[in-house]
Chain A
Amino acid sequence: QAQLRQWGAGLLKPSETLSLTCAVYGGSFSGYYWGWIRQPPGKGLEWIGEINHGGSTNYNTSLKSRVTILIDTSKNQFSLILTSVTAADTAVYYCARGWGRAIWGQGTMVTVSS
């Protein structure tokens, strides 16, 4: 059974760049979409985007101008980059493998505050 472990900076100032990485342990790295989801405090789940093994990406329409998802198949890792963050980007960020029968990371709390 695959496991996802994620890490990245937890405190950012407005206008800085958020960068999170998710490493995949066990299971196949190919044949899946690898995605990011976030959840502001006390609110629902928001899908951010996804990437497949070949590097093809899809992004949330509302975040598209600020989001980049990258994949490093040699390390079985994928990353989220979100530029020009504001307080509205404060959330728990999750990485995930696939959809439907998804496997989720443990989540990383990211706070944007001056």
Chain B
Amino acid sequence: DIVMTQSPDSLAVSLGERATINCKSSQSLLYSSNNKNYLGWYQQKPGQPPKVLIYWASTRESGVPDRFSGSGSGTDFTLTISSLQAEDVAVYYCQQYYDPPRTFGQGTKLEIK
């Protein structure tokens, strides 16, 4: 099974500042035939299902503010929020969909400092 490890487990950032969440996979998520990384990022707020932010490691889902961006390739990935807003307080998860089981990271709790 591919193991997904996020860091940090929790993060406190001031409003307007940058937030960075990392995700590392135990094996490459880059599929050579199409040059795509099978990695997604989700945002989850209390009492709600996860919401897709980013797929293919760096493609922003329609309607997601452009302050959210994804980067990385292979085994190391990053979710960046360029200017933190109050509504961004949530838990963030990465997920690999390269191979079943399609494992998730343990989550990163983002709070306002």
Residues of chain A at interface, number, CB under 8 A: 21
A27 in contact (CB, < 8 A): no
A78 in contact (CB, < 8 A): no
Minimum distance in angstroms from B48 CB to a CB of chain A = 8
Pick the contact of A50 from B52, B55, B100 — CB < 8 Å? B100
State the CA gap A49–B105 with chains docked (Å).
16
A47 in contact (CB, < 8 A): yes
A77 in contact (CB, < 8 A): no
Which are the 7 A-B pairs with shortest beta-carbon distances?
A: A99-B97, A58-B100, A100-B55, A104-B49, A45-B104, A44-B107, A100-B40
State the CA gap A47–B49 with chains docked (Å).
14
Minimum distance in angstroms from B89 CB to a CB of chain A = 16
- The 0/1 profile, CB within 8 Å of B marked 1, for residues 15-43 of chain A is 00000000000000000000101000000
With both beta carbons as reference points, the residue of chain A lying nearest to B61 in the complex is identified as A101
A59 in contact (CB, < 8 A): yes
State the CA gap A68–B91 with chains docked (Å).
29
State the CA gap A35–B95 with chains docked (Å).
14
State the CA gap A104–B42 with chains docked (Å).
11
